[in-house]
A and B are shown apart, each in its own frame.
Chain A
Amino acid sequence: MKFVDEFRDAQLGRVLTAEILAAVEPGHHYKVMEVCGGHTHSIYKYGLADVLPEEVELVHGPGCPVCVIPMGRIDDGIAISRHERVIFACFGDMMRVPGSEYTLLEAKAQGSDIRMVYSPLDALRIARENPDREVVFFAIGFETTAPSTALTLKRAKQEGIANFSCVCNHVTIVPPLRALLESPDLRLDGFIGPGHVCTVVGARPFNFIPADYGKPVVISGFEPLDILQSVLMILRQLGEGRCAVENQYTRVVPQEGNLRALEVLAEVFELRPHFEWRGLGFISNSALKLNDAYADFDAELRFETPGVRVADPKACQCGEVLKGVIKPWECKVFGTACTPEHAIGTCMVSPEGACAAYYNFGRFSRERAAV
């Protein structure tokens, strides 16, 4: 496929890795965080960590929307799904995320009508087809998925579909990045920026990273050559003693983002004063809620929810993984008590989660290296 196959060319990959090796300063160890879970997935899937020089360490960031959902929000979703007339719609991965007692999949087995959808628009279709039921969509995702929820809510309002509502868990990427940069236990040299978030918000929101913290950011695509080229661009900035936001993903990301998408987001959502992130705690202005014009579609106003904060299981170290403090395999329960089939932590659930990506693709190379 155009714009895909040419970014998986092995020969070009070898050229890029040679250039990366040449850009490494002897004796220097580079820690580069890939912000987005999509990058984490690609890095393990294509074995990119294996072809990089050992001086370049990739650190996984908090950009997997499933991984950062706190357990209390799952409990809220399950509580809503147990209302008699409710059809509860969510993305597939959410169904396996543990709440304090159950997952949504277990709640479904216990009798709740919970359905997997690929898009919020599918949930709206279910509402149209079931006018005597209450259809609730459990919305998650960063600025990439939020426009889809916003357009769905606009359609619901235009069509007067009163039996549709939404539990909004949409989050924004900049506040957690700032929280990470303020964290004393993490020393990072640069960031691989989230290409698809930038398709919506543009490059400007990331200017604070070089301006306030002196670190380079390279907005990157998701194919293997995109990521290798982004690493090279970061090393070159560091070698030249400069830091800036650069755009490797120019074939998709316009400098100003998608203004129409930003308008739709502003029309439907407003910032939440506080939102809890798994492993990162409460972060101000880091999530979205429906604004007053769309309050009729806010499931949190329509249904009673426990709204209780639930501490993560003690054995789970998703918080440290999400902050890049430890690698997935350094967690005590990784690959033993916690596997994709029986996840304890969220990072093992989504394929974008660092633990699941490493479990599915990365562990074999490490096992081979140990032999």
Chain B
Amino acid sequence: MSCSDEHCITCGDQGIPMRVESVSDPGEATCLDRDEQEHTVITELVEPVNPGDEVLVHAGVAIGRI
């Protein structure tokens, strides 16, 4: 993602909706953004999460469920 794309994440303060793809270590999940790009996301603030759940990610951390 870049500033000219859907959302800019370079300032870290832009929320990105992502879909949980798989749950790996405790408190972490692999998530897909709108462009199907994979991200490792900390999910300990919104647990429990399961594959298919939609989460809102800020600066690498899920802060809410959608």
Residues of A within 8 A of B (CB): 1-4, 37-38, 41, 64-66, 91-94, 116, 118-122, 140-142, 144-145, 147-149, 151, 195-196, 199-200, 222, 251-254, 258, 260-261, 264, 350-352, 360
Nearest-neighbour CB distance to chain A for B30, whole angstroms, equals 14
Identify which of A65, A94, A147 gathers the most chain B CB atoms within 10 Å of its CB. Answer: A147
A253-B64 contact, Cβ under 8 Å, with A65-B11, A352-B14? yes
Residues of B within 8 A of A (CB): 3-4, 8-15, 17, 19, 34, 42, 44-46, 54, 56, 58-61, 63-66
Which single member of A4, A140, A149 contacts B11 (CB below 8 Å)? A140
Residues of chain A with a CB closer than 8 A to B44's CB = 151, 260
15 A-B pairs whose Cβ atoms sit less than 8 Å apart in the complex: A2-B19, A4-B17, A91-B10, A118-B10, A121-B60, A122-B60, A140-B13, A145-B58, A148-B12, A148-B61, A199-B63, A199-B64, A254-B64, A260-B44, A351-B3
CB pair A352 B13 closer than 8 Å: yes
CB pair A118 B60 closer than 8 Å: yes
CB pair B46 A258 closer than 8 Å: yes
Residues of chain B with a CB closer than 8 A to A261's CB = 45, 63
Identify which of A142, A144, A253 gathers the most chain B CB atoms within 10 Å of its CB. Answer: A144
Q: How far is the CA of A94 from the CA of B11 in the complex (A)?
A: 7
Q: How far is the CA of A1 from the CA of B31 in the complex (A)?
A: 13
CB pair B63 A3 closer than 8 Å: no
A92-B34 contact, Cβ under 8 Å, with A147-B63, A264-B45? no
Nearest-neighbour CB distance to chain B for A219, whole angstroms, equals 12
Nearest-neighbour CB distance to chain A for B52, whole angstroms, equals 10
Residues of chain A with a CB closer than 8 A to B66's CB = 3, 251-252
Nearest-neighbour CB distance to chain A for B25, whole angstroms, equals 12
CB pair B59 A222 closer than 8 Å: no
Known A41-B8, A148-B61, A352-B11; further 5 A-B contacts with Cβ < 8 A: A2-B54, A65-B13, A91-B11, A119-B61, A120-B60
Q: How far is the CA of A200 from the CA of B57 in the complex (A)?
A: 12
Q: How far is the CA of A36 from the CA of B59 in the complex (A)?
A: 17
Q: How far is the CA of A222 from the CA of B12 in the complex (A)?
A: 16
Q: How far is the CA of A63 from the CA of B44 in the complex (A)?
A: 26
Nearest-neighbour CB distance to chain B for A257, whole angstroms, equals 9
Q: How far is the CA of A144 from the CA of B11 in the complex (A)?
A: 12
Which single member of A93, A222, A260, A360 contacts B10 (CB below 8 Å)? A93
Which single member of A64, A66, A116, A144 contacts B15 (CB below 8 Å)? A144
Which single member of B17, B54, B60 contacts A148 (CB below 8 Å)? B60
Residues of chain B with a CB closer than 8 A to A222's CB = 15
CB pair B12 A121 closer than 8 Å: no
Residues of chain A with a CB closer than 8 A to B45's CB = 147, 151, 258, 260-261, 264
Residues of chain A with a CB closer than 8 A to B59's CB = 91, 118-120, 141, 144-145, 148-149
A93-B11 contact, Cβ under 8 Å, with A151-B42, A251-B66, A351-B3? yes
CB pair B12 A118 closer than 8 Å: yes
Q: Quick one: closest B residue to A198, CB to CB?
A: B64
Residues of chain A with a CB closer than 8 A to B65's CB = 252
Residues of chain A with a CB closer than 8 A to B61's CB = 119, 121, 147-148, 151
CB pair B63 A144 closer than 8 Å: yes
Nearest-neighbour CB distance to chain A for B26, whole angstroms, equals 13
Q: Quick one: closest B residue to A2, CB to CB?
A: B54
Nearest-neighbour CB distance to chain A for B51, whole angstroms, equals 14
Nearest-neighbour CB distance to chain B for A323, whole angstroms, equals 20
Nearest-neighbour CB distance to chain A for B15, whole angstroms, equals 4
Which single member of A1, A93, A120, A252 contacts B34 (CB below 8 Å)? A1
Residues of chain B with a CB closer than 8 A to A254's CB = 64
Identify which of A1, A3, A122 gathers the most chain B CB atoms within 10 Å of its CB. Answer: A1
